[in-house]
Structure 1
Amino acid sequence: MGNILSSHSPSPLSDANPSFHYLVPHTAYKVFINHRGKDTKQSLVSSVYHNLDNRGVKVFLDKMCLRPGQYIPQALICAIRSASVHVVILSPNYAESEWCLDELLLICRTGAPIVPVFWEIRPSDVRMENKNGVYAKAFRKHNKVGKFDSRTLEKWKEALRWVSLLQGFISEGEQGEMVEKITACVARYNEMASRQTI
């Protein structure tokens, strides 16, 4: 992705202070699920998490894995960096969240495999080809609010474009079938990573 993802960005996870002494040690995870909670946590995300957990795959999901005393930004950074595969669930309200977008930047920097899931949205919407689409509107709102500089916004856009061009899963038909396909794909990546570390 070039240098666009290598610079500092004034966004949530970039402010994590490594000099803190954390009360709770961090755990290494095999899979990190990047998602917009209000869109997918109670449906798709929960199902994928439990399916992988039942297979013995250690998955990071904030509501299941964060513990009292953990500094949230640093816990997220550690989970992202330790994961051997990342699931990025792109949903209608995803681009509104600075946390989702910042996590995505870190995910892209790791070089680990990314499994994109387009949930009730198309890859072209993520690339913002439709100027009236929900992602384009979300970025116009970010720009209008003025909380983030133009460089940060461009890096977020580039990360979204990159992920939108990866082969992934598009929500069509029955959710249970889709969950099984996502789980099988992620489990294969996890097995490959495990063999490489032996």
Structure 2
Amino acid sequence: MAKPNVISRQELLQSARDVIASHGIQALTLKAVATGAGVTQGTVYYHFRNKEQLLLELIKEMCQDSWKNLLDDAGQGEEILEKALASARSRCTHDSPYHRVYFSLIAAGIYQETLGKELASLQELENKALGMAVKRFAKNEELVDIPAERWATLFNAWIDGLALQALLSPSFDADQAYADLAQVIRYLVGRKGEEQT
């Protein structure tokens, strides 16, 4: 018997995560979410207008949790760099449910203005959080005369680009790519030190 319409958005989002984890992103439908949560499909529509809104909420929650954990738990300097890269690397896989959802939403957002605006604000949130991490890594100084906020945009683009390559190519060596990215960052920090002497 279905539960009454007393169910939270969080419970529905958890049901969506369970569907993706068990059956993959292609199996995610509002009906599957309803079945997993033990409610009617109408209850899911009460909380989410459509599948895109559900996916967007799922991505927002994952991003916010990831960046909050990084900034709350990490220290300064190399420690925050290592944690940020490890966090991004953990989602950089050929079968990453996070990036499958994220890039699917980006494709839809190109044609749906409202969704595009929501994704742009999510991107701004990520850039802001990454900018804070860059400031902590660089000890509030610029890296090679570029402010942390602009580095955040560049790093975010690198991370998303690596994730896209991993999704498209099962043979993509994400470990090597992230080791190379860390080396580039360390080089830039070293250049900053050379310029100051």
Category of TM-score, reference length = shorter chain: under 0.3
Q: Which has the larger radius of gyration?
A: 2
Give the TM-score taking structure 2 as reference length.
0.28
Richer in helix (by share): 2
Q: TM (normalized to structure 1)?
A: 0.27
